[in-house]
Structure 1
Amino acid sequence: MNARIEAVPPLSEADLLDLGTRAFQGLGLPAADARQVSRILVMADLFGLGTHGLSRIESYGERLAVGGINAQPRITVERVAPALSRVNGDNAVGPLVGMRALEAAMEAARECGVGVALARASNHFGPISPYSLIAAEAGFASIIGSNATTTIAPWGGSDARLGNSPIGFGVPHPGGDPFLLDMAMSVVARAKIRGALKRGEAIPASWATDAQGRETTDPAAALDGFLLPIGGHKGYGLALMVDLFAGLLSGAAYLTHVKSWSQAPEQPQDLGHFFILIDTARLGSTEWLAARMRDFAAILHDSPPADPSRPVIVPGEIELGKLRRQRESGVTLDGATYQLLQRHAAAAPAAAA
């Protein structure tokens, strides 16, 4: 019989970070590593990206338990050129590899004006927005991407050969909201389809096809089929470019060489990521950049909306608005996620409690 799941009160950012850190320690991560992983996932929750937030404790935890993810990796960073680094994640939890790669790219960008880090031997690293915001707050414009498990058929094909690889862009705005664009190459992420299945809801026909390549509104059929790319053949091409940078150039797995975390949870995925950063301080003063960013946003905001109830926005405004509100009011986690976090946290070393 299933235990009753009680309502969860809103939790502050600090409480979420503490709970997430202890939960990942309970799964075997060292304290510092657990905190870095939790930092990215908590930021996802604050952005309102719950499917990529602390709810990932379920899939990450299952793979940590069976050895599919290395709880105590030895991540290495090799500077192969003044502005270029290669990161070997040693099959660590993805957000930890992502943070090490971001730090390597920022270090190189401070020295050279631009910095690039290519990571391999990694896993799902959460959404891109947290990394972009961290970079923007430090003054770096960024292009960040990752490859993924195959869920999309090649344009004109009939089986899954490429992943729903996300890519994100960020531009800092001193004293204001940075530009943040975080998108996958499909119309929606599989996590949204899984959510619809759990809720017993139909999905729009534009989201995915069934296993025969036919449009479907059935989330179960969609999960057995393929995601539809944004922009048709153009989205297909973009997805391939992300995989070339994140997978092929980094030395990671690519296309069908990427292992499925759900079908083979005990095996390393060998995902790859890329981080391309520009130090905007080399281009002009903070006042110069702030003035241009204000003007850039104003040009867009001043466009008369087609629907008066939906004014024109700049990418990132919705997420950053949620971030500010939830930093004040707290985040309400799903009850099952909260219980799972508590259960893993109870297994953390006593000194961390």
Structure 2
Amino acid sequence: MELQENGSSVVESSATLYALPGLRTFVREVLASNGVAAGDAATVADRMLEADARGVPSHGITRLPPYLDRVRAGGYNLDAKVRIVRESPVSALVDGDNGFGQVVMTYAADLAARKAAASGLAWVGVRNSNHAGAGGVYAARALEHDLIGLYGAIGNANHMAPWGGVSPLLSTNPLAVAIPAGRQPPVVLDMATTVVSFGRLKLAAQRGESIPDTWVMDLAGAPVTDPAEAMHGLLMPIGGYKGYGLNLVIGMLAGTLNGAAFGSETIDFNHDHVTPTNTGNMILMVRPDLFRSLEEFKASADERIRELRESRPVDPGRPVRTPGDALESRSRRSREHGVPIEPATAARLAALGAAHGIELPAPVDATPAHTDLEGGRS
């Protein structure tokens, strides 16, 4: 199997393909059987499976079992009332009332889109939310309205230390940006500010893979290559001290500005299923025609994206790509042929469903699937 520290790579895995409609029904039914309202269950299922369809399995259906652990422990408010607590024509502070992160962030992103369409731009902050999944899913909602979207979030466990230290005070604090184009694919950047996400470590551990020595260090500052050992180590920031600085800025804007948890206040939702996480998020949406006509902007964006994608590659067999340029084809392939799920994850999901009398759909293809993996996230 091929693993890359950055960028994307198509890897051969033992995963098999499952049809999206069947998985969506499965997730909704399992959540509903645990007391989650039908509308919320549908939103959570949609956002999770969008991540799988986009090639972000670490934030897809594999998250269902830990989410249910939190539901059963009473860590979510299943009757959450998402509400606006502060508002202006170009801003809002949203309180998630400890509801599902996917539900809260869908509300916040759609609110930002409406405000930006009316006022030209909008910044929406979120507090009292929970893990919301892949950030690119929310930034990309701006594209449906020909808007630019920028998303930041506090991760739900501290896996990184400040630069020069070994105290786990920082999370993966992801950043996602979506920029529309015309005929070329939009630019959709979705990345953690750590070299990889904690979810990628979990996948590596499940697959028995070693990891590069630039991903994780132990509490003494020495590099780690065993993913099982890495689960107890510290993730490294992208770009050294620069990644640390970016991580800190996102934490201040998505957490501190909103009155959400950051630093030592962060709750590790992997081990604490009861305490409200007070997760913070922020999303900014901007109308390009504040600066030039939408048509001119899209035409210029196309020129620049085409210039990059058609530039001379190091390896002729691996053309230069732009962030997210394979999203449309990957999503279409997922809709047509299904999404890949690892055997260990499928077994966990099947057992979870069986406990509630709900059957996991059979795979549509029993042959190993190619998994298109992107760079690290939260």
Task: Specify the alignment match of 2:301 in structure 1.
Answer: 293
Q: Name 1:105's counterpart in structure 2.
A: 112
5+ residue gaps, structure 2: 1-13, 360-378
The range that moved more, 197-206 or 114-123, is 197-206
* Partners of 1:135 and 1:142 within 8 A in 2: yes
- Aligned partner of 2:267 in structure 1 is 259
Deviations 1:133-173 (A, max 9, x none): 22212211011010112111101112111111100110112
1:17 to partner: Cα distance: 2.3
Q: Number of matched residues?
A: 342
Matched, 1:144 2:134: no
**What CA distance in whole angstroms lies between the structure 2 residues aligned with 1:128 and 1:59?**
19
User: Residue 8 and residue 150 in structure 1: after superposition, are their counterparts in 2 closer, same or farther (change >3 A)?
Assistant: closer
CA-CA distance at 1:340 after TM superposition:
4.8
Deviation at 1:176, TM superposition (A): 4.4
Equivalent residue of 1:63, what SS? helix
For 2:347, the equivalent position in structure 1 comes to: 336
Contact 2:26 2:358 in 1 (8 A): no
Choose the corresponding residue for 2:98, options 91, 101, 117.
91
CA-CA distance at 1:100 after TM superposition: 1.1
**Alignment-derived partner of residue 88 in structure 2:** 81
Cα 1:175/1:30, change in 2 over 3 Å: farther
Residue in 1 aligned with 2:5? none
Find out whether 1:234 has 2:270 as its counterpart: no
Structure 2: how far apart are the matches of 1:107 and 1:340? 41
Match of 1:43 among 18, 40, 50: 50
Counterpart in the other structure of 1:178: 186
Aligned partner (choices 217, 226, 231) of residue 223 of structure 1: 231
Q: How far 1:79 moved relative to its partner?
A: 4.4
What's the secondary structure of 2:321's corresponding residue? coil
Match of 1:32 among 34, 39, 48: 39
The alpha-carbon distance between structure 1 residues 322 and 110, as it changes in their structure 2 partners (threshold 3 A), is same
Identity rate, percent: 32
Alpha-carbon offset, residue 54 of structure 1: 1.1
- 1:269 aligned to 266, 277, 289, which one? 277
**How far has the Cα of 1:15 moved from its partner?**
2.6
RMSD: 2.0
Checking the alignment, whether the CA contact within 8 Å between 1:170 and 1:181 is kept in structure 2 is: yes
Q: How does 1:275-314 map to 2 (within 5 A)?
A: 275-314=283-322
Q: TM-score, normalised by structure 1?
A: 0.91
Which one is further off, 278-287 or 33-42? 278-287
Structure 1's unaligned 5+ residue stretches are: 1-6, 349-353
The change in CA–CA distance for 1:167 and 1:344 in structure 2 (over 3 A counts) is farther
Distance 1:23 1:174 in 2: 40
Cα gap change, 1:60 to 1:179, in 2 (>3 Å): same
TM-score (norm 2): 0.85
AA partner of residue 196 (structure 1): A
